[in-house]
Amino acid sequence: MRKDDTQLIVEYLDGDEAALGVLVERYLKDVYNFAYKLTNDLQAAEDITQESFVKAWKNIRKYRHESVFRTWIFSIARNTAIDWLRRKRDVPFSSFENERGENTFVAGLVDTHPMPDELLEQAENVRVVQDILLRLGPHYRDVLDLRYTGNLTFEEIGVILHKPLHTVKSQHRRALIALQRTIKVRVA
């Protein structure tokens, strides 16, 4: 029988080191994939994943059992990734966004057509989807990443992003509409 996360945490706190290993194994791949989606950098994703689990280990005694461990570890990973992105970028593109979430700086950039070798690379569905996702605003991308990469519920996403449920659902809907528009433009 599979033990739930709370049982594993209690067992770890009671001295069973293997219980923490089970938790790490259970969420390692999802946290890594999430970190990679946020950074688009393999090395950074590895570092963020490792740092996230170290932070979780150091703070496991502060874990509130009324919250879901999965949500807690994803919150840690998201915050760690945001810290990494802040250190990496001199000027975050989000500072160019207006009150409607539109990025006027990016919108003003010249849209160059891809070279033939780039077209071949984009033939893979994964690359095309990643390219389209990068065109979305970060708040839309975060919601989609958590929903589809992390397989989190809207409620869990709201907890991680510190946003009300209706805001998360609204951003999800808007992100899907933006994706649809981008795909139509790309296909045309």
Shared domain for 38 and 69, answered yes or no, is yes
Q: For the chain, how many structural domains are there in total?
A: 2
Domain coverage including residue 75 = 1-90
Q: Are residues 115 and 170 in the same domain?
A: yes
Same domain, 86 and 159: no
The pLDDT, as a whole number, for residue 110 is: 43
- Residue 120's pLDDT is 44
What pLDDT does 127 receive? Answer: 60
Q: What is the CATH number of the domain that holds 19?
A: 1.10.1740.10
Does one domain contain both 17 and 41? yes
Residues 111 and 179 in one domain: yes
Banded model confidence at residue 155, pLDDT cuts 50, 70, 90:
very high
pLDDT at 73 over 80: yes
Clarify whether residues 83 and 50 are in a common domain.
yes
Q: How far is CA 65 from CA 4, 7, 8, 33, 52, in A?
A: 12, 10, 11, 25, 19
> Residue 3's pLDDT band (boundaries 50, 70, 90)?
confident
The answer on 101 and 86 residing in a single domain is no
* CATH number of the domain that residue 169 is part of: 1.10.10.10
Q: How many whole angstroms separate alpha carbon 153 and alpha carbon 80?
A: 21
Statement to judge: residues 86 and 98 lie in one domain = no
**Are 155 and 144 within 8 A, CB to CB?**
no
Q: Are residues 40 and 99 in the same domain?
A: no
Q: Are residues 100 and 187 in the same domain?
A: yes
Q: Which two tokens stand for residue 79?
A: 């915050």
- Give the model confidence (pLDDT) of 27-59 as tens digits: 999 999 989 888 888 899 999 999 999 999 998
The model's confidence at residue 159, banded by pLDDT at 50, 70 and 90, is very high
Question: Can you tell me the mean pLDDT for 86-100?
Answer: 61
